[in-house]
A and B are shown apart, each in its own frame.
Chain A
Amino acid sequence: MKDSGGKYETVIGLEVHLQLATETKVFCGCRTVFGVEPNTQVCPVCLGLPGVLPVLNEKVFEYAIKVALVLGCDIQKTVKFDRKNYYYPDLPKNYQISQYDMPLAYNGKVKIPDGPEKMKSIGITRIHIEEDAGKLLHDPERPYSYVDLNRTGTPLLEIVSEPDIRSPEDASRYLVTLKRIVKYLEVSDCNMEEGSLRCDANISLRKQGVSALGSKVEIKNMNSFKAVRDALAFEQRRQADVLGRGEAVAHETRLWDEKKNITVSMRSKEEAQDYRYFSEPDLVPFEVQGALVEKVRKDIPELPEAKECRFQSQYGLGDKDAENMTISRETGDFFEKVAEESGDAQAACNWIKGPLMMHANEHGTDIAGMERDNSGLSVGIAKIIKMAQKGILSGLAAKETLKIYLDTGKDPAMIVDEKKLGQISDETSILEVVRKVIAANEKSVADYRNGKTNALSFLVGQVMKETSGKANPKIAGEMLRKEIEK
């Protein structure tokens, strides 16, 4: 396939579905735990039995308002729900309660990085609340399908972007940014593998300079950010090819095939379903109370962008370090604790982004997970940093201490004691070795006296060797100089 070579402009809009991490479902009291036995988190309401009625979970409403506020949306004065009617066995009522003509929020934006210094805005068309459907499990051997309704009625937030995205990479940045913000708000797990964050994309191409939109294709079945990027890149090339041949792009829904790395046609939009939307008569429209919005607003934590700026000015971190330390709300909080307890923010940052994150990756966890396992983690790390600062630990010994600390959770001071990792800073014991080294290396001593200053480094090395690396090299150097110059 040939490069579209700047001939076409790519226009992308994303539809993100977020499962809200409320304890109970959107219209009943069932739990929303992922991965439990099929059909164990159900009740007459989410099973859609005859005669039951939905009751809105207020927490869902608050979470939705929180996301809407953070994305700078206007919030509807009246909240109204609608029924979206379609038949599918994973939808027990054969209609989904959603919001159609009056979405909860609209007209917002997400700022994404655009080059090293710049940011650009991606518009948010609308955000609305709806209920999730169940899952179908198809028997691989027999012609049967099973229905698991645990997921039915899990609260979803649909976030629809404007067609402001211009490349697959920007689509990915948009998702990363959105995920980081939402995770900061602690309203969704944002886990694409578990389906708590799902994304469909609309993509079309148009000739550079043309303002009318081209015929668009909707892509579904993308299960990771990488899949979104790859699918959009594939579709960008495919559509450029079609247009290059002078043909028209079909208005259709396509599925991403991750194994073959291609999109395949699923259905034409001409066969589009008529969902026969109408107001949900079982839920009475209600006014959004200003007091509630203000309460939710007060609850909004410091967001990543603001935190990044603060870390730069307050702790003197560089751009990249500040970004690293705000990757999640927990990382930011952890960094601040370690910085405060150790009194050395840069060291705290270096330790977290280096060995700590490496350890987390190796163990398939993250800072938050490590803190859950060891609530004193920040104190322990700060202790190690302080021992290194005071010269009690050499760089190497500090790393060794950390490793043992992370594996055992023992007090770092005890580890240093037990493993005898502490540096020898006691001058009398170092002096003995220094004298021994001077006596054994007459040539180097003479070289130093004759002005070859780097001969001293060699002698320090000898002292380190004699003490199995435990002597404080700074002290050893000074004592050598003093002895030789005596």
Chain B
Amino acid sequence: MPPRKKEISSRSPGSSEIPRMEDILSSIDSFRQWLKERSEPAEVSARFLAERAAALDKDIKAFMRSDVAAVMARSKKAAKAVQNGRLNGVPIGVKNNICIKGALTTCGSRILEKFRPPYDATVIEKLENEGALLIDGANMDEFAFGSSCETSYFGLTRNPWDLSRTPGGSSGGSAAAVAAGEVVAAIGSDTGGSIRQPAAMCGVVGFKPTYGRVSRYGLIAFASSLDQIGPITRNITDCAILLEVMSGYDRRDSTSVNQPVPCFSKNLSRKIKGVKIGIPAEYFSVGMDEKVRKRIEEAIEVFRKLGAEIVDISLPHTKYAVSCYYIIAPAEASSNLARFDGVHYGYRDPDAEGLIEMYTATRSKGFGAEAKRRILLGTYSLSSGYYDAYYLKAQKVRTRIAGDFKDAFGVCDCVLTPTTPTTAFKIGEKTDDPLQMYLSDIFTIPANLAGLPAVTVPCGIGENDLPVGLQLMAAPFNEEILIRMAHAFERDTEYDKLLPPVSGKGKEADEGLRR
């Protein structure tokens, strides 16, 4: 049985008159309320928030660096432009592969160590148009190649629930920052689970929209046919608000789809009675932690209790998803990363002589081991003589996987699975075993291959007292059903109230505020 609401209150309460900072930061709404009540100008609040995040981050290291001055400059710009934006002054972390004009955008790689884009990504424009206070540099696996944030050239990020563990990845910095209360929300990118896997491991909400829902313009590409930008938040309401702000057709991205954006945040209270939830047998036959399995089974019961109908379904090609993904994603990556060659921008080996030597030395020193592994994999599978056996075959498998889902959505409205087979793993646990690392995305990869929207929401505590995530997937452009389902679940269970302990540095910072 799921824990009762009253059992959840995890932290020792502070003074009853003064709200706790982590509560203030627990939703866009509570944060904006707090901001409204503060007497000092917005800039002072912005400085406080940036400094608080920096203090909290001394242990977590969700951000690669702390550039309070740059954040302040952006905040002034946003405040000037927006009077009544939906995100006015709300601090939002940005994964370091999404371009912000003038800000270091490194993708966690040495090869882009000093790269400052001369333009903003479309999502950055959209967030700033609503007044968001963007905090850049959220840590990530190098070029989003990884599931633990350990491949970042700028050091690793720790899981706020247990500092000896990884936050997951690749959007580990974004997820950890939200879980630790450094920011109200964050944005990440998801190519094979890079939003959902770390969100699950950090006990927060992570949403990967339908491929084409959010513009990719300004997202430094990993695998163009799989990448999507999405929000990481403390609750599904904030997720719906951010999704609404970020979505929409962009003429600068030919793969963005010209579909009207529904008012996601207006549909939260609708009933879920009669909604059919598909449970795919294939996702439950693979190895997973016992407590993860237990939490998912409890979640299914919650949905049943709320009036949803549970349907057994089959997604027969699931077992090929990881192999298929590790052909297609590296193939596209090998081409996308070809531009990092030391000629026009980014790191260049200073000692190399001649063009070929410069290319070789720059890329050998500029990329980390995992990036090189994927570039080699991708180059290989696209090479003449191997293309048909690998890349072409993988494309066919991809079509089959999408077909499985199409069939499934004939009999159910959404599909429920665990987000990850385990809770957060130890730092260093999987770094020597790439295959084990790749398998931590086994449940999230299919949604990318099929271009589906998918969300992870916290569903309780699993092994080692760490959070477990529940994944829901739906047909393309049916984000609404996911939001509705997740919202019903969240309201019933209040798992969004589960929080990691606040680090010592963070406590000191909060004390300052209370005085």
| Interface set of A (CB-CB < 8 Å, partner B) | 44, 47-56, 83, 85, 87, 89, 92-95, 147, 274, 276-278, 281-284
**A94, B224: Cβ atoms under 8 Å?**
no
Residues of B within 8 A of A147 (CB): 343-344
Residues of B within 8 A of A51 (CB): 97-99, 105, 117, 121, 217-221
B236 within 8 A of A: no
B379 within 8 A of A: yes
Given A274-B384, A281-B224, does the pair A53, B338 have CB atoms closer than 8 Å? no
Residues of A within 8 A of B251 (CB): 55
Beta-carbon nearest neighbor of B385 in chain A = A274
Given A50-B112, A56-B254, A92-B344, does the pair A44, B379 have CB atoms closer than 8 Å? no
CB distance from B332 to the nearest CB of A (A): 6
Chain B interface, number of residues (Cβ within 8 angstroms): 44
Residues of A within 8 A of B271 (CB): none
Question: Which of the residues B119, B220, B223, B254 comes within 8 Å of A54, measured between beta carbons?
Answer: B254
CB < 8 Å A-B pair total: 98
**B254, A276: Cβ atoms under 8 Å?**
no
**A278, B254: Cβ atoms under 8 Å?**
no
B478 within 8 A of A: no
Question: 27 A-B pairs, CB-CB below 8 angstroms?
Answer: A49-B117, A49-B118, A50-B105, A50-B115, A50-B340, A51-B105, A51-B219, A53-B252, A53-B253, A53-B254, A54-B254, A56-B254, A85-B338, A87-B359, A89-B355, A95-B335, A274-B384, A276-B384, A278-B331, A278-B332, A278-B335, A281-B332, A282-B221, A282-B254, A283-B255, A284-B254, A284-B255
Residues of B within 8 A of A281 (CB): 223-225, 255, 332
B45 within 8 A of A: no
Question: Which of the residues A48, A277, A278, A284 comes within 8 Å of B339, measured between beta carbons?
Answer: A48
CB distance from A289 to the nearest CB of B (A): 16
Bound Cα distance A359, B220 (Å): 57
Residues of A within 8 A of B99 (CB): 50-51
CB distance from B161 to the nearest CB of A (A): 32
**B335, A276: Cβ atoms under 8 Å?**
yes
Question: Which of the residues B117, B225, B344, B391 comes within 8 Å of A48, measured between beta carbons?
Answer: B344
Residue among A50, A55, A87 with the most chain B CB within 10 A? A50
**A278, B382: Cβ atoms under 8 Å?**
yes
Which residues 211-236 of B have a CB within 8 angstroms of A? 216-221, 223-225
B83 within 8 A of A: no
Bound Cα distance A93, B340 (Å): 8
Given A50-B115, A85-B338, does the pair A92, B252 have CB atoms closer than 8 Å? no
Residues of B within 8 A of A93 (CB): 338-339
B383 within 8 A of A: yes
B345 within 8 A of A: yes
Residues of B within 8 A of A56 (CB): 254
Beta-carbon nearest neighbor of A94 in chain B = B338
B150 within 8 A of A: no
**B252, A55: Cβ atoms under 8 Å?**
yes
**A47, B254: Cβ atoms under 8 Å?**
no
| Interface set of B (CB-CB < 8 Å, partner A) | 97-99, 105, 107, 112, 115, 117-119, 121, 216-221, 223-225, 251-255, 331-332, 334-335, 338-341, 343-345, 355, 359, 379, 382-384, 387, 391
Bound Cα distance A281, B329 (Å): 11
Bound Cα distance A277, B334 (Å): 12
**B341, A94: Cβ atoms under 8 Å?**
yes
**B339, A44: Cβ atoms under 8 Å?**
no
**B335, A85: Cβ atoms under 8 Å?**
yes
CB distance from B5 to the nearest CB of A (A): 44
Residues of A within 8 A of B97 (CB): 51
Residues of A within 8 A of B343 (CB): 89, 92, 147
Bound Cα distance A89, B225 (Å): 26
Residues of B within 8 A of A44 (CB): 117-119
Given A85-B335, A87-B341, A94-B339, does the pair A52, B217 have CB atoms closer than 8 Å? yes
Residues of A within 8 A of B345 (CB): 49
**A283, B254: Cβ atoms under 8 Å?**
yes
**B253, A85: Cβ atoms under 8 Å?**
no
Sample of 18 further A-B pairs with CB below 8 A, known A48-B339, A283-B254: A44-B117, A50-B99, A50-B107, A50-B115, A51-B221, A52-B119, A52-B218, A53-B254, A55-B254, A85-B382, A92-B339, A93-B339, A274-B384, A276-B334, A278-B382, A281-B332, A282-B224, A283-B255
Residues of B within 8 A of A278 (CB): 331-332, 335, 382, 387, 391
CB distance from B355 to the nearest CB of A (A): 7
Beta-carbon nearest neighbor of A55 in chain B = B254
**A53, B105: Cβ atoms under 8 Å?**
no
**B338, A47: Cβ atoms under 8 Å?**
no
Bound Cα distance A49, B346 (Å): 10
CB distance from A179 to the nearest CB of B (A): 33
Bound Cα distance A52, B107 (Å): 15
Kindly list the 9 A-B residue pairs having the minimum CB-CB distance in the complex, ordered from nearest: A94-B338, A281-B224, A281-B225, A276-B382, A50-B220, A51-B218, A51-B220, A51-B99, A89-B343
Residues of A within 8 A of B121 (CB): 51
Bound Cα distance A85, B383 (Å): 10
Residues of B within 8 A of A89 (CB): 341, 343, 355
**A47, B344: Cβ atoms under 8 Å?**
yes
Beta-carbon nearest neighbor of B359 in chain A = A87
Residues of A within 8 A of B334 (CB): 85, 276
CB distance from B191 to the nearest CB of A (A): 12
Given A44-B117, A44-B119, does the pair A53, B383 have CB atoms closer than 8 Å? no
Bound Cα distance A147, B334 (Å): 24
CB distance from A239 to the nearest CB of B (A): 28
CB distance from A282 to the nearest CB of B (A): 5
Bound Cα distance A50, B331 (Å): 17
Bound Cα distance A44, B343 (Å): 15
Bound Cα distance A94, B338 (Å): 6
Bound Cα distance A89, B387 (Å): 26
Bound Cα distance A276, B377 (Å): 13
Residues of B within 8 A of A87 (CB): 338, 341, 359
Bound Cα distance A309, B192 (Å): 64
Residues of A within 8 A of B331 (CB): 278
CB distance from B213 to the nearest CB of A (A): 14
Bound Cα distance A47, B339 (Å): 10
CB distance from B378 to the nearest CB of A (A): 9
Bound Cα distance A335, B253 (Å): 48
Residues of B within 8 A of A276 (CB): 334-335, 379, 382-384, 387
CB distance from A40 to the nearest CB of B (A): 15
Residues of B within 8 A of A47 (CB): 344
Residues of B within 8 A of A83 (CB): 335
Residues of A within 8 A of B339 (CB): 48, 50, 92-94
